[in-house]
Structure 1
Amino acid sequence: MAATVIYNDQGVPLMAYGKNYFASTAGIPEKTKYTEQIQDVDNTVTIGEHVCCSWASGNNFPQEASKVISRTGVLNTGLKFIHKVVLGQGIFPCRVSGYDEKRNEKLEVVNHPEIINLMQSRMIRRYLANSYRDILKFGISFPQLIPNQDGSKIVGINTINALHSRLTKPENGQIKHCIVSGEWPDVNSRNMEVYPVLDNYDPLADLEILRYEGKLKGKSFIYPLRDEWDNDDIYPLPSWWSAKLAGWIDVANKIPAFLAKAYENQITWMWHVKIPYAYWDKRFPVADYPDKSIRQQKIQEEMDLIEESLTDSANANKAIFTHYTIGTNGKPEEQWIIEPLDNKYKADDKLLTSAAANSEILFSLMVNPNVLGAGMPGGTYAGNQGGSNIREAFLVNVAMAWLDRQNILDPIETMLQFNGIKDIQLRFRNTILTTLDTGSGTQKVIS
């Protein structure tokens, strides 16, 4: 059987296994090619009359990033956790009437059935979920504002899947169009749609100018939202990409494969039973078995019985009795010796490495591993997994959600203001974990 070699995306051999052995590489390659996956604004692709900025060197960053996320359990779970924390229990319209002595906002409920129904509608819920999903996964999302027939109001908001979207090269510092196709990176002018992109500096003012010029009719517009922690103006990288560049995601993916092959191929002998030849001479004398194959079969059956006595959970702590005699030389001639074998393979170090990789990935997402039950009982990444630690970690995530929440609310607020609703604030509901001494397990708060 030829050896099977597993390589990473850059062609570096990570591990190999054959029928009777298992091997893995150690150390760090002198040079990796991760940087080649970062987009270059000068790397463009021309489709018809449009010049698009390639999203990474192969113009397929979201497709490749989606594969990485789908096969990395802790990354997928961490992203989904942040997604749920930020979206909370939905949004509702209100007015800020002032501030209390603790400088908290005093909120007044807006009794406007049309607005309340809109904020609780599937359209808004779907927009929020899909838009923030793409920001977390790929660093950018593509909300779509949809006017009515005469262009007087914005009546719909949608999120175009980032997998299908590419931006054109900036003209005088402004991105003019978004090209949408389900066939990226292999796309042509016959299988794409072109949407105008709103000015990133002031999208509302851009919409007002387009309405004044009568250019809203029959069109919809893209309002890009970015994770602007990354400084790239076109396609910012998602926060988790730092864990990819550091190699932790590769480690997290390879450890399960390593352990699976190790358990599959390792020698699992538990006992070494030493039986003297004299035992078989007396148990099955050669003279009694003219046919040698019959004697061998008897010995095989006896060996199977011995193995059954030493293995299986039903035989745990079961005793085995043997007898022996002392020969003329003063040594035992028929003594059995049963020794437990020391299995040199230890999986603990691999599990520790896997836990470290999981922690590093969650750190890149600013998620405390303890809040997901990923804390380790000892070592460098040890942490208290008690209720207080989990509760505080969750509260930190809620407190840090403000900026992301405002970003994904911007297109909705732009929609409301364009439609003449200018005195409404949008806030998120949260369920906050509390201690039992407060009289309840949770509290409803607004942020």
Structure 2
Amino acid sequence: MKQLLFSSAGHLAYSPGTGSIVRLNGAFSAAAGGGSAGSSGNAATQDGAAPSSPVEKGQSGDVALWGEANDFPQQVLKSLESNTILPSVLEWKTRAVYGGGVVYGRVTGFDKAGNELFERVRLPDVEAFFRRSNIPRYAYEGLQNLFTFGQSYPELILSLNRQKLTTLTTQDTAFCRYSVPKAGQAVPELVHISANWPEAKPGDEFTTSVPVLDPYYEPVEALKADTRGFKYVYPLALPSPGKALYQLASWNSIRRSGWLDVAQAIPEFKAAMFRNQLSIKYLIETDERYWKWKYPDWDTKVTEQRRQIIGDELADFEKTMTGAAGAGKSILSVSVQDPRTGESVSAFKVTAIDDKVKSGLHIEDSQEASSHIYTSLSVDPTLVGISPGKGMGAGSGSDKRIAFNNFISTHRFHQDLILEPLYLVRDYNGWPAELEFRFLNPLAQTADVSKSNTSTATGGQSDDAEPA
């Protein structure tokens, strides 16, 4: 039997034979007789059991399918590409929550309101890691994955001697699939990465399989005990009720509700109208008696002669009614008398044709569909521009300022999730334990607030504070 590799704390072990991480659930501390042995030495501080990890049964093979055809992310992207609101608003959310980017420092205390006082610092090792990993790109792409798919797949790379984590990057969520989870596994063993789903296959030349770390239970110790390679995926996800493996972004409800289909159907319908409608502005009706009155020999004229006369009359009418040259002209209304009855008969009757396109057909439907899309994205329309419809308006400056600040204040968890792997790097690499990571968020201020107080490192500070 191959020897197990134990973590320094004795909580975990790695089995080279099965490639599994084993949770010891306090076994070392229990055998230590109340704390005389083991690295931590006190059974009272050891976990008596590992956290529960529900696993959905019924899947087999090498890949856990994401959607019935394993192409759910690709279907989502198709929906995004066909809508005018979703892509730009998802990008706006990413830019807004990213703000001024990721910074690091120390919490030196708290003000009277309980808001933390954040002091930025510069440490050579951290600076080198940020540059090598291109942390701004990591953070932006990670947020983009979270907002689009509800999950992100950061990838951590170890040094050759396994003493340091040297790089943090992130994979495109649409290119990632888990291996099929097994009963008792906290997380699937692997993430398969390919740009060719759903046709991709684990083991082919275009697919890379990377071991997965459990983000919920001592990932630093697990990584120290793990010898499956030099790179690992640390999965991040927004909680989605009832989803055991792949999470579902909340905005996806708009795809299943039918409102996204309505929003898409309206421009398709209008485009068809523009392509196919007859350009008719007026209906002109003439009385047959007019022609007999104007042309006494009308009854003796052949069809071609009559067609020529009518065409000439219509051409004269169009010169009067159309174009800028016709603006302000008068129309002579001709009446003739029926010789039999003595009745006065109008020679011409002109009726304007109602133009449904110009009258704003389906604008209300478009506005309602747009409202549902913005609601699903949890974005106030005033933040990204006017809302389609007759009642267009971008909102006041005060509305925008309040909406923006409320938006930022409700996305702390998203930021914390993206920063989570950096804490793993901090602890694994031996950086100062008090080192904290934050997003620098500019907040909208009123005009009378000093321009120097326009941003805050997310961490509970007041709106008009900035890192010292």
Same fold (TM over 0.5): yes
Tell me which interval the TM-score lies in, with the shorter structure as reference length: 0.7 to 0.9
- For residue 84 of structure 1, what is the aligned residue in structure 2? 95
- Alignment of 1:404 with 2:414, yes or no, is yes
C-alpha RMSD over aligned residues = 3.1
Q: Count the aligned residue pairs.
A: 397
Against the structure 1 CA distance between its residues 283 and 419, is the aligned structure 2 distance closer, same or farther, given a 3 Å change threshold?
farther
229-238 or 359-368, larger mean C-alpha shift? 229-238
- For residue 436 of structure 2, what is the aligned residue in structure 1? 425
For each residue in 1:219-257, what CA deviation from the matched residue of structure 2 results, as whole angstroms up to 9, or x when unmatched?
Answer: 210011111144413101111111122111111111111
In structure 2, stretches of 5+ residues that fail to align are 1-54, 459-468
* SS of aligned partner of 2:313: helix
Displacement of 1:61 after TM fit? 0.7
**One-letter code of the match for 2:233?**
I
- Alignment of 1:391 with 2:401, yes or no, is yes
In percent, how many aligned pairs have the same letter?
27
Displacement of 1:196 after TM fit? 0.5
- For residue 109 of structure 2, what is the aligned residue in structure 1? 98
- Alignment of 1:195 with 2:210, yes or no, is yes
**One-letter code of the match for 1:190?**
D
- Alignment of 1:372 with 2:384, yes or no, is yes
Counterpart Cα distance in 2 of 1:357 and 1:349:
14
- Alignment of 1:208 with 2:221, yes or no, is no
Against the structure 1 CA distance between its residues 316 and 228, is the aligned structure 2 distance closer, same or farther, given a 3 Å change threshold?
farther
Counterpart Cα distance in 2 of 1:297 and 1:442:
80
92-101 or 169-178, larger mean C-alpha shift? 169-178
The within-5 A match list for 1:23-422 is 41-42=56-57, 44=59, 46=61, 51-116=62-127, 118-119=129-130, 123-171=134-182, 172-174=184-186, 175-188=188-201, 189-191=203-205, 192-201=207-216, 202-210=218-226, 215=227, 219-266=230-277, 268-281=279-292, 286=297, 292-293=303-304, 295-312=306-323, 315-328=326-339, 329-333=341-345, 335-342=347-354, 348=360, 350-375=362-387, 385-421=395-431, 422=433
Counterpart Cα distance in 2 of 1:267 and 1:102:
68
165-174 or 51-60, larger mean C-alpha shift? 165-174
**One-letter code of the match for 2:214?**
D
Against the structure 1 CA distance between its residues 152 and 162, is the aligned structure 2 distance closer, same or farther, given a 3 Å change threshold?
same
Against the structure 1 CA distance between its residues 109 and 375, is the aligned structure 2 distance closer, same or farther, given a 3 Å change threshold?
same
* TM-score (normalised: structure 1): 0.79
Alpha-carbon contact 2:129-2:166 (below 8 Å) kept: no
Counterpart Cα distance in 1 of 2:210 and 2:371:
40
**One-letter code of the match for 1:182?**
A
281-290 or 329-338, larger mean C-alpha shift? 281-290
Alpha-carbon contact 2:382-2:400 (below 8 Å) kept: yes
* SS of aligned partner of 2:106: strand
**One-letter code of the match for 1:131?**
G
Counterpart Cα distance in 2 of 1:65 and 1:376:
23
Displacement of 1:284 after TM fit? 6.0
Counterpart Cα distance in 1 of 2:334 and 2:452:
66
For each residue in 1:309-366, what CA deviation from the matched residue of structure 2 results, as whole angstroms up to 9, or x when unmatched?
Answer: 3234553444322333444433334532223234578864622111111111211121
* SS of aligned partner of 1:436: coil
In structure 1, stretches of 5+ residues that fail to align are 1-39
For each residue in 1:352-400, what CA deviation from the matched residue of structure 2 results, as whole angstroms up to 9, or x when unmatched?
Answer: 1111111112111211222223447889xx9882222222111111001
- For residue 446 of structure 1, what is the aligned residue in structure 2? 457
**One-letter code of the match for 1:166?**
R
Against the structure 1 CA distance between its residues 239 and 88, is the aligned structure 2 distance closer, same or farther, given a 3 Å change threshold?
same
**One-letter code of the match for 2:59?**
T
* SS of aligned partner of 1:410: helix
**One-letter code of the match for 1:208?**
K
For each residue in 1:125-154, what CA deviation from the matched residue of structure 2 results, as whole angstroms up to 9, or x when unmatched?
Answer: 221122222222222221110112222111
Displacement of 1:271 after TM fit? 2.0
Against the structure 1 CA distance between its residues 416 and 115, is the aligned structure 2 distance closer, same or farther, given a 3 Å change threshold?
same
Counterpart Cα distance in 1 of 2:384 and 2:453:
18
